[in-house]
Amino acid sequence: MKRSEPARRGSGQGPTDPGLLARPLDFISEDHLRERQICAEIDRLVAAETFDRPAGVTILRFLNEELGVHLRDEVEDLFPTLARRCTDEDSIASVLGRIRHDQEQALSLLPSVRGAIANCLDAGADLSSEDREVLARFAAHVRRHLVAENAILLPIARARLTRGDLRRLANHMRLRRGLPTSQGVTSAE
Ligand SMILES: [Fe+2]
């Protein structure tokens, strides 16, 4: 696991490398690998009899520090830009509607998911059967949203977004992370 670079492409093992922000669609795609990795961790937590504390800490940290900013990248920037750039043939409105629905469902479960994991960490308890059900539902919604985004939205975005759109997207994503903006944004391809 020890490599010279801090975050390898495609591993989903740690937070996405900010060096990828120059190619914002690649960054979002990498965030989705990370989300998939966390969903697998949640599945393991749900299936395990005894609560896995290190996994709980990893998941809670992702929920608190990474998921919110990823969803804002999409809801505040990627989705509106796509809606502006797409033609009627892309049927983007209905796709965005379905994805937003899954995001909202996941977000509505988020406080319970956080609470369940934090309680296990604080009290040294195991997940209750209700906790397991909430975590499983949460992971299912997150997975559905990222599958639809990878299969439909990102390919359309790569085809339709202009260099100016990508530059704006990258700069807003940098600002959201407290990083300086850059003029040297390149195409996503
Ligand atoms: Fe996403």
Centre of ligand 1 from the C-alpha of residue 142, in Å: 8
Cα 156 to ligand 1 centre (Å): 14
Question: What are the pLDDT digits (tens) for 175-188?
Answer: 999 998 875 444 44
How close is the Cα of 74 to the center of ligand 1, in Å? 7
Q: Is residue 97 part of a domain?
A: yes
Distance 73 CA to ligand 1 centre (A): 8
Distance CA(60)–CA(114), nearest Å, equals 6
Inside any domain, residue 169 = yes
pLDDT digits (tens, 9 = 90+) for 136-155: 999 998 998 888 899 989 99
Domain for residue 115, yes or no?
A: yes
96-136 pLDDT, tens digit per residue, is 888 888 888 889 999 999 999 999 999 999 999 999 999 99
- Take residue 50 and report the two structure tokens written for it: 């005894």
In-domain check, residue 105: yes
Residue 149 Cα, ligand 1 centroid: separation in angstroms? 6
Asked, for residue 181, whether it belongs to a domain, the answer is no
The per-residue pLDDT for range 20-71, each reduced to its tens digit, is 899 999 999 999 999 999 999 999 999 999 999 999 999 999 999 999 999 9
pLDDT tens-place string over residues 59-86: 999 999 999 999 999 999 999 999 998 8
Q: What pLDDT shows up at residue 19?
A: 87
C-beta of residue 144 within 8 angstroms of C-beta of residue 105:
no
10 pLDDT above the threshold of 50:
yes
CATH number, domain containing residue 160: 1.20.120.520
pLDDT of residue 133: 96
The CA distance from 145 to 21, in Å, is 21
Res 37: pLDDT: 94
Rounded Cα distance between 121 and 181, Å, is: 38
Task: Count the alpha carbons within 13 Å of 105 in the hemisphere toward its beta carbon.
Answer: 18
Interval 86-93 mean pLDDT: 77
Q: Report CA(71)–ligand 1 centroid distance (Å).
A: 6
Give domain status of residue 165, yes or no.
Answer: yes
- pLDDT, averaged across the chain: 88
What is the 49 CA–ligand 1 centroid distance (Å)? 30
Question: How far apart are the CA of 125 and the centre of ligand 1, in A?
Answer: 31
Q: Which residues span the domain enclosing 28? A: 21-176
In this structure, is residue 4 part of a structural domain? no
In this structure, is residue 185 part of a structural domain?
Answer: no
Work out how many domains the chain is built from and give that number.
1
Ligand 1 midpoint to CA 47 (Å): 25
